[in-house]
Amino acid sequence: MARLIDGKAAALALRTEVARAVEGFVAERGLRPGLAVVIVGDHPASRAYVRTKTRMAEAAGIAARLIELPADIQTAALLERIGELDADPAVHGILVQLPLPETIDEAQVLLAVSPKKDVDGFHPANVGALFSATRPDPDRLLVPCTPLGCLHLLRQTLGAEGLRGQEAVIVGRSNIVGKPLAALLLAADCTVTVAHSRTRDLADVCRRADILVAAVGRPGLVRGSWVKPGAAVIDVGINRIEAEDGGSRLVGDVAFAEAEQVAGAITPVPGGVGPMTVACLMRNTLTAARLQSGAGG
Ligand code: NAP
């Protein structure tokens, strides 16, 4: 039976470490790290996410601001608002909650946040820096939060040197998870395969993996029979499905009950990668404040 990778406990430990470092930064610099979270429209899941992010930021000693904008806002008006936040020295990190309404030009919005305040790590300059660095340093570079959280959990599970030479398969090639995680695992000396909806013989590809990451958005896609015995399985998926009692519940992209029989270690959903994403956002906000104040990593 697989060991459970406790993302909640790991996230709490990371947030506690960040909170301590934030107070050190305030004492040293006389400046409190600030985070602005921008939400457009009233998508219920997105609203819940931004509330968690601002609450966790406050708990870590970060000055958090929630900017709520109407769903019918024009791209130009949104860009102007982001420009104001970008120019505000009290704001060190800006996060624009995705997805944006279809009427908004998302690529332009991501470009409007300057790279040094881009705590999501989605700006092309940060993406380029991540992919071109031989050893990307998350203390000096803003790396997307979810992949950073996955890396943290893998390091904790396999040990600092435990990733070297491992065969890693990531199912999903999105810009927010699959691709940046591939860059991080490559830099950690894994041999990385990125699979997607057009991958042939996906089950066989997955069975090669010492480290198997599912970031797809399809409940239970990865079956137990796809998992190599002893593999570390990271389930990024968050899918709401109908529950037996007529309500709903969250499940991942991995058929958990099957996979835990085979894997060496596995993240649950909920309580795995999700809490780490928020903790890494806090870490990135502190990193952004340090970089902007010239304090380095
Ligand atoms: P996305 O942008 O929709 O990308 C999904 C990827 O999965 C695509 O590359 C797609 O392939 C691939 N895919 C779809 N169906 C497939 C199939 N049947 N077989 C193989 N590959 C398939 O999704 P995302 O934003 O990366 O998110 C993925 C999941 O992670 C979602 O459940 C999301 O809610 C969750 N998520 C969780 C967190 C967290 O904090 N835990 C953060 C972000 C996302 P193509 O490229 O070929 O279309």
**What pLDDT, in 10s, does the model give residues 277-294?**
999 999 999 999 999 998
85, 38 Cβ separation under 8 angstroms: yes
Q: Is 97 a catalytic residue?
A: yes
Residue 297's pLDDT is what?
Answer: 53
Write the CA distances from 5 to 25, 160, 169, 273, 288, integer angstroms: 31, 16, 18, 9, 28
Q: What is the DSSP string of 84-144?
A: HHHH-TT--EEEEPSSPPTTS-HHHHHHHS-GGGBTT--SHHHHHHHHH-SS--TTTS---
Residue 260's pLDDT is what?
Answer: 98
Centroid of ligand 1 to alpha carbon of 91 (angstroms): 31
pLDDT in tens, 104-121: 999 999 999 999 999 999
3-state SS assignment for residue 8: helix
Q: Report the candidate in 139, 193, 195, 206 with the shortest Cα–Cα distance to residue 172.
A: 195
Residue 119's pLDDT is what?
Answer: 98
99, 129 Cβ separation under 8 angstroms: no
Centroid of ligand 1 to alpha carbon of 241 (angstroms): 16
Judging by DSSP bridges, how do beta strands 239-242 and 248-251 pair with one another? antiparallel
Residues of the chain with pLDDT under 50: none
Q: Is 292 a catalytic residue?
A: no
**Ligand 1 in contact with 240 (CB < 6 A)?**
no
Query: Residue 288, CB half-sphere, CA atoms under 13 Å: how many?
Result: 33
Centroid of ligand 1 to alpha carbon of 171 (angstroms): 8
**Ligand 1 in contact with 205 (CB < 6 A)?**
no
pTM: 0.97
Spatial separation of the C-alpha atoms in residues 255 and 260, rounded to whole Å: 9
Q: Is 228 a catalytic residue?
A: no
Tokens representing 13 are: 């430990």
pLDDT in tens, 157-198: 999 899 999 999 999 999 999 999 999 999 999 999 999 999
- The burial of 252, by beta-carbon neighbours within 10 Å (0-12 exposed, 13-18 middle, 19 or more buried), is given as buried
**Ligand 1 in contact with 234 (CB < 6 A)?**
no
Residue 293's pLDDT is what?
Answer: 93
Centroid of ligand 1 to alpha carbon of 112 (angstroms): 25
